[in-house]
């Protein structure tokens, strides 16, 4: 390279040699800083002055990738301090920042339009922002750890600065990491500093109890990490809602979300639904059929009741998880898919593995990140929050005035065990709204046969326990009286007699089965 030539990095600049000298000077200044705050401020100042932009911002992710924080801002010639600069892991409203972080792509917009682009993260200005440059910053391990942003009210060719500014930003990220490691070695970290006192985002879920806060923390860990998730917990705890929250607030939110209940179809139909088939694969296959794995390509496939999946189909699913390849029925060729699998079950998969009805290798593939959903009984005050939410929903649907809650009705709900969890609560509230002729929900509008009543004698309490046992068995067997009688070790005639004596009606069973969880 002769003295008149400039590196390709500077070839698009008007004065490349002068810019190279200014860039080198900034490198030298930043290399001499030994404090993290000064490094962050020095970077945004350098980005603004080198590009001629009125604004430069630095956003950094925390170690767990669950919080994006504005670490520094240079605006109109000075450093700024803005409130609410920390964004939770569902920073989906900052779509431009999210694109850089999740796609590891440089974003340069020469004609910024607030009607087309969400630029709420930029400071208010009398003049509109015209150009924007977002640069993903990488760690030493080549993981995206932040974004360096430059914006101007002038039509500047910001894309020509992208390579050099990214080198400068990555250098500062490396320096910050080095300072953090040195600081960690020199001073112990207290336990209090490791605890996040703030309540994380609810991700569209309802609840502020301690167990739900812990659940939100677990959800935040997998939103932007492409790992398989296994949701466990009792029936009715809302596993599909959690799966949808992980999808809707994660990096695949704009892609398909496909749901399949593994217990709802026989083995041959489930296989053709999941993997698809080619014309002529079997009798009646008169055309090609796209399977759920292909339909969920680049998105999320939620497999509910995965513990009921047949063993032969488990082997085919394992290959998809291992190799990312799908072979439709009747085809000799495989093709690749990019699908995130979230599985759910209320059964103990470890026991199924020991019994030989669930593949051990598939279990470990699915359970990279297990999340256990808490039963409603452990959620304390969330019971009333959910009950009020469901009653407001039901009243709105029925186009009637919202119902008030009597203190006695609320106390009765809090004293109930809810074996059907949130699904049962929703059904009970919806039924109570229909039974309520006035505008106040009373205890008699709820059929809480498991609630504690100190006025009952021993015989009445035993009958309550027996009634609950029979109803639970009938629900598990979808109302099939023969199967329920076999499960309970009773003759079917005895079961029918006890149902009549204890006033168990079909509505007590079906109503809970059809209620959705919110």
Strands (E), 62-196: 67-75, 78-79, 86-88, 107-109, 131-138, 144-152
Fold classified for 381-413+420-446:
Helicase, Ruva Protein; domain 3 (1.10.8)
Residue 158 Cα distances to 120, 152, 162, 437, angstroms: 20, 9, 7, 66
What pLDDT is stored for residue 89 in this prediction?
54
Least confident range from 86-90, 143-147, 366-370, 415-419: namely 86-90
- Model confidence over 432-488: pLDDT tens digits? 999 888 889 998 888 775 554 545 566 776 777 788 788 888 888 888 888 888 888
Q: Does the CA dihedral 439-442-445-450 come out positive or negative?
A: positive
Instruction: Inform me whether the pLDDT recorded for 43 exceeds 90.
Output: yes
- Model confidence over 334-343: pLDDT tens digits? 999 999 999 9
Instruction: Inform me whether the pLDDT recorded for 512 exceeds 50.
Output: no
Residue 494 Cα distances to 32, 47, 479, 509, angstroms: 86, 81, 16, 18
| Residue found by looking up tokens 């106040």 in the block | 440
CB 344 within 8 A of CB 260: no
What pLDDT is stored for residue 88 in this prediction?
53
pLDDT tier, 360 (very low <50, low <70, confident <90, very high otherwise):
very high
Residue 443 Cα distances to 76, 412, 413, 418, 505, angstroms: 63, 7, 9, 16, 20
Per CATH, the number for 210-374 is 3.40.50.300
Instruction: Inform me whether the pLDDT recorded for 384 exceeds 50.
Output: yes
Instruction: Inform me whether the pLDDT recorded for 265 exceeds 90.
Output: no
Instruction: Inform me whether the pLDDT recorded for 201 exceeds 80.
Output: no
pLDDT tier, 192 (very low <50, low <70, confident <90, very high otherwise):
very low
Query: 410 or 182, which is more confident?
Result: 410
What pLDDT is stored for residue 133 in this prediction?
92
Average pLDDT, the chain: 83
pLDDT tier, 195 (very low <50, low <70, confident <90, very high otherwise):
very low
Give the start-to-end residue ranges of the domains of the chain.
8-185, 210-374, 381-413+420-446, 453-518
Instruction: Inform me whether the pLDDT recorded for 184 exceeds 70.
Output: no
Give which of 110, 104, 116, 102 is closest to 161, Cα–Cα: 110
- Model confidence over 57-79: pLDDT tens digits? 998 887 666 677 888 998 888 87
Give the homologous superfamily in CATH for domain 453-518.
Homeodomain-like (1.10.10.60)
What pLDDT is stored for residue 191 in this prediction?
39
- Model confidence over 15-24: pLDDT tens digits? 888 888 899 9
CB 386 within 8 A of CB 425: yes
Instruction: Inform me whether the pLDDT recorded for 507 exceeds 80.
Output: no
Number of helical H runs and strand E runs in the chain: 18, 16
CB 484 within 8 A of CB 498: no
- Find the DSSP H helices in 328-457: 349-355, 360-366, 382-398, 407-414, 421-435
Q: Tell me the average pLDDT across 96-111.
A: 84
Instruction: Inform me whether the pLDDT recorded for 511 exceeds 80.
Output: no
Query: 209 or 453, which is more confident?
Result: 209
Per CATH, the number for 8-185 is 3.30.450.40
Q: Tell me the average pLDDT across 369-387.
A: 92
- Strands 257-261, 300-304: pairing is parallel
As a whole number of angstroms, the distance between CA 394 and CA 429 comes to 8
pLDDT tier, 229 (very low <50, low <70, confident <90, very high otherwise):
very high
SS3 290: coil
Burial status of residue 101 (CB atoms within 10 A of its CB: 0-12, 13-18, 19 or more) = buried
């Amino acid at each position: 390279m002769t003295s008149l030539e400039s590196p390709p990095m500077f070839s698009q600049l008007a004065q490349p040699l002068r810019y190279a000298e200014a860039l080198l000077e900034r490198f030298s200044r930043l290399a001499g800083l030994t404090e993290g705050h000064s490094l962050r401020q020095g970077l945004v100042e350098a980005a603004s002055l080198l590009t001629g932009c009125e604004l430069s911002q630095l956003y950094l992710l925390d170690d767990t990738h669950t919080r994006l924080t504005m670490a520094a801002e240079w605006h109109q010639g000075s450093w700024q301090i803005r409130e609410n600069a920390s964004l939770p892991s569902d920073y989906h409203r900052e779509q431009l920042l999210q694109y850089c972080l999740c796609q590891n792509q440089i974003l340069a917009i020469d004609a910024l339009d607030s009607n087309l682009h969400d630029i709420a993260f930029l400071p208010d200005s009398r003049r509109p922002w015209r150009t924007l440059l977002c640069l993903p910053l990488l760690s030493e391990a080549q993981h995206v750890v932040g974004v360096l942003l430059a914006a101007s009210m002038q039509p500047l060719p910001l894309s020509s600065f992208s390579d050099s500014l990214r080198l400068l930003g990555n250098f500062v990220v490396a320096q910050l990491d080095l300072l953090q490691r040195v600081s960690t070695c020199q001073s112990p970290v207290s336990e209090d500093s490791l605890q996040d006192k703030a309540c994380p985002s609810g991700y569209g879920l309802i609840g502020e109890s301690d167990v739900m806060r812990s659940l939100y923390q677990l959800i935040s860990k997998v939103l932007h990490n492409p790992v398989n998730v296994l949701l466990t917990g009792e029936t009715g705890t809302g596993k599909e809602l959690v799966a949808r929250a992980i999808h809707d607030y994660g990096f695949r939110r704009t892609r398909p979300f496909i749901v399949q209940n593994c217990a709802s179809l026989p083995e041959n139909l489930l296989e053709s639904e999941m993997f698809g088939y080619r014309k002529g694969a079997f009798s009646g296959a008169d055309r090609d059929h796209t399977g759920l794995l292909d339909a969920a390509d680049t998105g999320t496939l939620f497999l509910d009741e995965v513990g009921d999946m047949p063993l032969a189909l488990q082997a085919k699913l394992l290959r998809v998880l291992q190799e990312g390849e799908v072979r439709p029925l009747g085809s000799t060729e495989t093709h690749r898919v990019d699908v995130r699998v979230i599985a759910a079950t209320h059964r103990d998969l470890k026991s199924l593995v020991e019994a030989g009805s669930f593949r051990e290798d598939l279990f470990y593939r699915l359970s990279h990140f297990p999340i256990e959903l808490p039963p409603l009984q452990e959620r304390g005050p969330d019971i009333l929050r959910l009950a009020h939410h469901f009653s407001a929903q039901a009243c709105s649907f029925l186009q009637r005035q919202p119902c008030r809650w009597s203190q006695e009705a609320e106390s009765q709900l809090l004293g109930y065990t809810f074996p059907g969890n949130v699904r049962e609560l929703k059904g009970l509230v919806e039924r109570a709204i229909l039974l309520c002729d006035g505008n106040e929900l009373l205890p008699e509008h709820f059929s809480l046969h498991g609630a504690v009543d100190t006025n009952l004698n021993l015989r009445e309490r035993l009958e309550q326990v027996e009634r609950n046992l029979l109803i639970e068995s009938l629900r598990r067997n979808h109302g099939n009286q023969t199967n329920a009688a076999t499960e309970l070790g009773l003759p079917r005639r005895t079961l029918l007699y006890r149902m009549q004596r204890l006033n168990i009606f079909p509505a007590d069973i079906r109503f809970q089965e059809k209620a959705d969880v919110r």
